[in-house]
């Protein structure tokens, strides 16, 4: 009787009170080959008939209408591949097994089960002992028949006894490993190829025994991450890999090549690549919280179950709950098969599959650019169709689809680098055009035209010229394309107005008329314009066309050839379109036109506040007065004096010019240059000495004094200036030392207060003050942007207000006011500035110490040297105390700023606002550099 609780369980009570219990489970009998010779056969047993689709490659017909029927001599009741007969034998097509003890012992028709075809002439089968919990593995081999008409025979060559009830058996078509599952879930490995035919426990990579927690109705073998694993699925949809449960919602699964395909209760079919996969990645991909995307997941109909996968193809066969079969093309299988075809240079198969399944055709090139370019001719010969080649051209784009749309599931061991300067479109178009012109230029005429159009910069002029050449030539071969057909095709690819403009740019009116007639333009639009152009002189005609097409560089080139009477028009166009550099190349340097263009160019640069380049342009064309004015404006005194030599200025004019230039140099704090100009060109060495003293150029001032033998200036000007400078240095050093000490002391106090605040949990008060200050500014900025959206007429006022707020925020951010939120940052910035200003004085102090010693001001020199040395030593000692190691680490990792450590309870948006301020201040945590090797000290004053 059938069990009322467990489905497909049959209870049998025999004579002698012998009890038998049978469990049946649904399985799919399919061929397990992985090469092209396997036809993806699937079969169903129906009594003495074997029904099914003996080739899923050719046709998919669901039962009860099978594509093929195989009649067996005995009723088939079980099997995997062949059919198991209900009499005392097994039918395998036309082969039959007779047991050796069949005449003496009655054999149960269901004695053999799990008949598995592991090689061409070897089978395995399982029988169970009725008296004990043992199973027997039978090794069946094919015995050759003596006559072709006779049936073949299978012999039981050997048997192996297993302690336990075998409930399932599977064999890997790749590794030929055989796995057995016992009733308690333990997995055994049958070494059928060894001479001893041993059975050993299956162990995982860690060396532990593999045992399913629950018996599985379907088991398979697969290579996962280089290790052979056992995959199992229970009748409760729990999926195991070895003894690890990775999912609990799997309805069916299949292993094909390097892929694992599964259907789930969420009505999806997922496909995983097992090559570099692991238990964790599979578990994460199958978890309910994980959302798969891309190639892995595909939606399927509710209740779909996997029947088989067609080898060396993209077909996945699914069976619906109502029995019908459906063929789907899973994206992962499709892309994997396309990559294999491309690696084998099977471009036709890959192209047809991609076109049919709407895969972007850029993958043909992006998969291996080098291989494609080396085999372009092979690609064209395989594709052959002009329409298909044009389709390939139209889909091309610069994007690398292997990095965006179709990333490979496994990172390539060898990265295929691409020159960033090379354009993908140009490479493909040029290579394919060369190949098509070699193979058959007449047949691939339209494709050749497409290759010109699809380049980064479309070569429409070349395309139009080729079409024009076809106009006067009738088709010479059957595959040739006429001019009319080619032009119609071009109008499909290029906008008619753009094509008309490019045809006009060829200056060929026959070609223009041909395009205009095919473009459905109104003759009243173009005929008067063309007639006017035909009446013009050739160069002026081409100038008019180029100006109409806004090709101004070519336009001025043609206009420059029309004669001097057209130069004013040319100059106006040059000024209007800022074509000075291009225009200067059209005229010889000694011509008047060249000078006029140069003057116009210089005036344009003056308007752009580019005075020095303007002066150079003026000087080059001998416009010396304009050049002098430009050099004076920018303060280029050397160039100005060179130009002045061409103007033959009088002595007084040259002196006035020198004083003007000296004033410009003083404004830029170039006192030595100013003194040189006054001394050499105004002959005013006294004023030059005063300027040198003002710029602290003591040694240069002494040189001039001794050169002109004016030793009195030493007493009247130089010594008083030196002493005054020494006093100023002393006052400056005293102020710097005082400021540095005050800021350092305050910084230590602020840091101590911060530590105390953190210890007594005062972060909330500190953060409230920071947050209110910072967000008051951000809110004002936001309100300004909202106002600009509502009232567009007040944009300028609001922009000014926003700028004012930004400046205010900068001041508040680094305020030295005691108690301000970022006082420690302001103190660090002030201390950094003091150290850098003091470091810059080393060279100046060294020079004044030399002149103090020279004029016997030893006491003042020692005083200055001692004060400067004390200041430097104070700063050097304080650097490690001010810029601690912790502060430097904070600069390397801004998130670890002292304030940020208290932000754990604030929202991420608030933290981003604070971090935006701290990232700008990272350089404040880097201590200033003090170069001890700089020579500033005068040993004579020690």
- Tell me the CATH number at 671: 1.25.40
Query: Does residue 456 lie in a domain region?
Result: no
From 718, 734, 767, the end of a domain falls on 718
Which of 35-49, 632-646, 745-759 shows the highest mean pLDDT?
Answer: 632-646
714 in the same domain as 844? no
764 in the same domain as 661? no
748 in the same domain as 702? no
Query: Does residue 881 lie in a domain region?
Result: yes
Indicate if the pLDDT at residue 800 is higher than 50.
no
pLDDT in tens, 128-158: 877 778 888 888 887 766 555 555 567 777 7
The per-residue pLDDT for 108 is: 47
pLDDT in tens, 828-867: 888 999 999 999 998 899 999 999 999 889 999 999 999 9
Query: Does residue 405 lie in a domain region?
Result: no
Give the mean model confidence (pLDDT) for residues 19-39. 73
Indicate if the pLDDT at residue 780 is higher than 70.
no
**CA dihedral (281, 287, 291, 293) positive or negative:** positive
The per-residue pLDDT for 801 is: 46
Percent of all residues in the chain with a pLDDT value above 70, rounded to a whole number: 79
Nearest to 378 by CA among 345, 352, 400: 345
**C-alpha distances out from residue 588 to 560, 622, 752, Å:** 12, 14, 77
The C-alpha atoms of residue 69 and residue 61 are separated, in whole angstroms, by 12
661 in the same domain as 794? no
What does pLDDT average to over the chain? Answer: 81
Q: pTM of the predicted model, to two decimals?
A: 0.67
Task: Kindly give the interhelix angle for 671-681 and 651-667, rounded to the nearest 10 degrees.
Answer: 170
770 in the same domain as 685? no
644 in the same domain as 595? yes
Query: Does residue 440 lie in a domain region?
Result: no
Query: Does residue 448 lie in a domain region?
Result: no
The C-alpha atoms of residue 22 and residue 12 are separated, in whole angstroms, by 8
Indicate if the pLDDT at residue 598 is higher than 90.
yes
Q: Which residue has the tokens 């005691």?
A: 818
789 in the same domain as 666? no
Residue 18 makes CB contacts below 8 A (sequence gap 6+) with 130
Query: Does residue 919 lie in a domain region?
Result: yes
Indicate if the pLDDT at residue 892 is higher than 80.
no
- Among 140-154, 215-229, 709-723, 763-777, which is the least confidently predicted range? 763-777
Indicate if the pLDDT at residue 415 is higher than 90.
no
The per-residue pLDDT for 894 is: 43
The per-residue pLDDT for 410 is: 66
Indicate if the pLDDT at residue 672 is higher than 60.
yes
Indicate if the pLDDT at residue 122 is higher than 50.
yes
**Are the C-beta atoms of 211 and 186 separated by less than 8 Å?**
yes
Nearest to 201 by CA among 149, 235, 248, 164: 164
Q: Copy the structure tokens of residue 438.
A: 């070699």
Query: Does residue 308 lie in a domain region?
Result: no
The per-residue pLDDT for 784 is: 39
Strands (E), 164-226: 166-171, 178-182, 187-190, 199-201, 218-224
899 in the same domain as 771? yes
848 in the same domain as 750? yes
764 in the same domain as 696? no
Which of 184-188, 810-814, 888-892 shows the highest mean pLDDT?
Answer: 184-188
Range of the domain at 613: 564-718
Q: Copy the structure tokens of residue 377.
A: 């001719």
Residue 768 burial by CB count (10 A; 0-12/13-18/19+): exposed, middle or buried?
exposed
- Among 284-293, 392-401, 405-414, 561-570, which is the least confidently predicted range? 284-293
Indicate if the pLDDT at residue 289 is higher than 70.
no
859 in the same domain as 895? yes
pLDDT in tens, 339-376: 999 999 999 999 999 999 999 999 999 999 999 999 99
- Among 471-475, 559-563, 739-743, 868-872, which is the least confidently predicted range? 471-475
Going by the DSSP 8-state scheme, the letter that residue 145 receives in this structure is P
Residue 250 has, within 13 A of its CA and on its CB side, a CA count of 29
The per-residue pLDDT for 146 is: 58
> In 3-state terms, what secondary structure has residue 177?
coil
The per-residue pLDDT for 243 is: 86
Give the mean model confidence (pLDDT) for residues 24-31. 77
Indicate if the pLDDT at residue 811 is higher than 50.
no
- Among 174-183, 699-708, 906-915, which is the least confidently predicted range? 906-915
Query: Does residue 780 lie in a domain region?
Result: yes
771 in the same domain as 863? yes
Q: Copy the structure tokens of residue 652.
A: 């007084």
pLDDT in tens, 576-595: 999 999 999 999 999 999 99
The C-alpha atoms of residue 163 and residue 465 are separated, in whole angstroms, by 86
The per-residue pLDDT for 276 is: 77
- How many degrees, rounded to 5, is the angle at CA 256 between CA 405 and CA 7? 120
Indicate if the pLDDT at residue 293 is higher than 50.
yes
Tell me how far the alpha carbon of residue 638 is from its chain's centroid.
52
225: left (phi over 0), alpha (psi -120 to 50) or beta: left
The C-alpha atoms of residue 189 and residue 885 are separated, in whole angstroms, by 62
The per-residue pLDDT for 56 is: 55
577: left (phi over 0), alpha (psi -120 to 50) or beta: alpha
785 compared with 370, residue with greater pLDDT = 370
- Structurally, the chain folds into a number of domains equal to 2
Give the mean model confidence (pLDDT) for residues 391-401. 93
């Amino acid at each position: 009787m059938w069990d009322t609780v467990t489905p497909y369980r049959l209870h049998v009570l025999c004579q002698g009170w012998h009890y038998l219990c049978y469990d049946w489970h649904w399985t799919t009998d399919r061929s397990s080959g992985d090469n092209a010779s396997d036809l993806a056969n699937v079969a169903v047993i129906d009594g003495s008939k074997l029904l099914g689709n003996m080739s899923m490659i050719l046709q998919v017909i669901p039962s009860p209408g099978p594509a093929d029927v195989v009649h067996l001599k005995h009723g088939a009741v079980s099997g995997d591949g062949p059919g198991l007969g209900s009499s005392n034998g097994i039918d395998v097509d036309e082969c039959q097994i007779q047991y050796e003890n069949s005449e003496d012992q009655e054999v149960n028709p269901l004695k053999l089960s799990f008949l598995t075809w592991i090689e061409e002439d070897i089978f395995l089968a399982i029988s169970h002992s009725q008296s004990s919990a043992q199973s027997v593995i039978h090794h069946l081999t094919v015995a050759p028949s003596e006559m072709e008409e006779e049936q073949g025979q299978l012999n039981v060559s050997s048997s192996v006894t297993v302690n336990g009830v075998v409930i399932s058996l599977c064999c890997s078509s790749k590794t030929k490993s055989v796995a057995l599952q016992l009733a308690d879930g333990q997995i055994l490995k049958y070494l059928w190829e060894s001479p001893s035919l041993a059975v050993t426990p299956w162990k995982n990579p860690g060396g532990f025994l593999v045992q399913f927690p629950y018996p599985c109705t379907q088991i398979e073998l697969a290579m996962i991450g280089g290790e052979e694993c056992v995959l199992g699925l229970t009748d409760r949809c729990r999926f195991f890999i070895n003894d690890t449960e990775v999912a609990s919602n799997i309805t069916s699964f299949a292993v094909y090549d390097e892929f694992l395909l599964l259907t789930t209760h969420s009505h999806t079919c997922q496909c995983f690549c097992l090559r570099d996969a692991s238990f964790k990645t599979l578990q994460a991909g199958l978890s309910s919280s994980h959302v798969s995307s891309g190639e892995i997941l595909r939606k399927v109909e509710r209740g779909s179950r996997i029947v088989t996968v067609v080898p060396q193809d993209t077909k996945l066969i699914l069976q619906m709950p109502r029995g019908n079969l459906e063929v789907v093309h899973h994206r992962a299988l499709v892309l994997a098969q396309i990559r294999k075809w491309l690696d084998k240079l099977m471009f036709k198969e890959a192209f047809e599959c991609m076109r049919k399944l709407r895969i972007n055709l850029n993958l043909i090139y992006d998969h291996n650019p080098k291989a494609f370019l080396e085999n372009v001719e092979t690609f064209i010969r395989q594709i052959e169709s002009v329409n298909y080649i044009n389709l390939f051209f139209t889909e091309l784009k610069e994007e690398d689809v292997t990095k965006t749309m179709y990333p490979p599931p496994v990172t390539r061991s060898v990265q295929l680098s691409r020159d960033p300067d090379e354009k993908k479109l140009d490479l493909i178009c040029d290579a394919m055009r060369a190949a098509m012109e070699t193979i058959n230029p007449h047949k691939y005429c339209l494709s050749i035209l497409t290759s010109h159009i699809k380049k980064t910069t479309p070569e429409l002029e070349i395309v139009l010229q080729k079409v024009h050449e076809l106009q006067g030539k009738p088709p010479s071969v059957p595959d040739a394309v006429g001019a009319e057909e080619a032009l119609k095709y071009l109008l499909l690819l290029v906008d008619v107005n753009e094509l008309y403009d490019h045809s006009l740019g060829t200056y060929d009116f026959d070609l223009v008329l041909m395009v205009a007639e095919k473009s459905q333009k109104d003759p009243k639009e173009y005929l008067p314009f063309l007639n006017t152009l035909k009446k013009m002189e050739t160069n002026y005609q081409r100038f008019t066309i180029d100006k109409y097409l806004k090709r101004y560089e070519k336009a001025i080139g043609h206009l420059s050839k029309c004669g001097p009477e057209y130069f004013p028009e040319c100059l106006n166009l040059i000024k209007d379109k800022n074509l000075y550099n291009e225009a200067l190349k059209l005229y010889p340097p000694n011509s008047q036109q060249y000078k006029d263009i140069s003057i116009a160019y210089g005036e344009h640069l003056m308007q752009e506040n580019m005075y020095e380049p303007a002066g150079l342009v003026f000087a080059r064309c001998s416009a010396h007065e304009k050049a002098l004015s430009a050099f004076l404006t920018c303060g280029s005194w050397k160039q100005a004096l060179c130009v002045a030599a061409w103007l033959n200025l009088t002595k007084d004019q040259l002196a006035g010019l020198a004083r003007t230039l000296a004033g410009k140099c003083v404004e830029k704090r170039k006192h030595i240059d100013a003194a040189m100009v006054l001394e050499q060109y105004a002959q005013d060495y006294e004023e030059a000495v005063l300027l040198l003293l003002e710029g602290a150029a003591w040694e240069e001032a002494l040189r001039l004094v001794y050169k002109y033998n004016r030793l009195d200036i030493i007493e009247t000007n130089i010594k008083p200036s030196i002493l005054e400078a020494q006093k100023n240095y002393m006052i400056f050093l005293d102020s710097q030392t005082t400021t540095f000490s005050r800021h350092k002391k305050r910084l230590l106090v602020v840091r101590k207060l911060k530590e105390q605040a953190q210890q007594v949990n005062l972060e909330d008060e500190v953060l409230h003050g920071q947050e209110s200050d910072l967000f008051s500014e951000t809110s004002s900025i936001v309100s300004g942007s909202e106002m600009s959206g509502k009232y567009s007429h007040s944009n300028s006022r609001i922009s000014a207000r926003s700028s004012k707020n930004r400046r205010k925020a900068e001041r508040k951010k680094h305020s030295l006011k005691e108690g301000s939120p970022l006082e420690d940052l302001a103190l660090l910035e002030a201390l950094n500035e003091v150290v850098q200003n003091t470091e810059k004085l080393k060279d100046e102090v060294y020079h004044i110490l030399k002149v103090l010693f020279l004029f016997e001001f030893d006491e003042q020199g020692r005083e200055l040297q001692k004060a400067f040395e004390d200041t430097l030593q104070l700063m050097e000692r304080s650097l490690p105390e001010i810029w601690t190691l912790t502060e430097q680490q904070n600069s390397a990792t801004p998130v670890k700023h002292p304030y940020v450590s208290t932000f754990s309870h604030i929202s991420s948006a608030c933290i981003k606002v604070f971090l935006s301020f701290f990232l700008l201040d990272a350089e404040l945590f880097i201590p200033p550099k003090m170069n001890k090797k700089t020579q500033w000290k005068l040993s004579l004053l020690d």
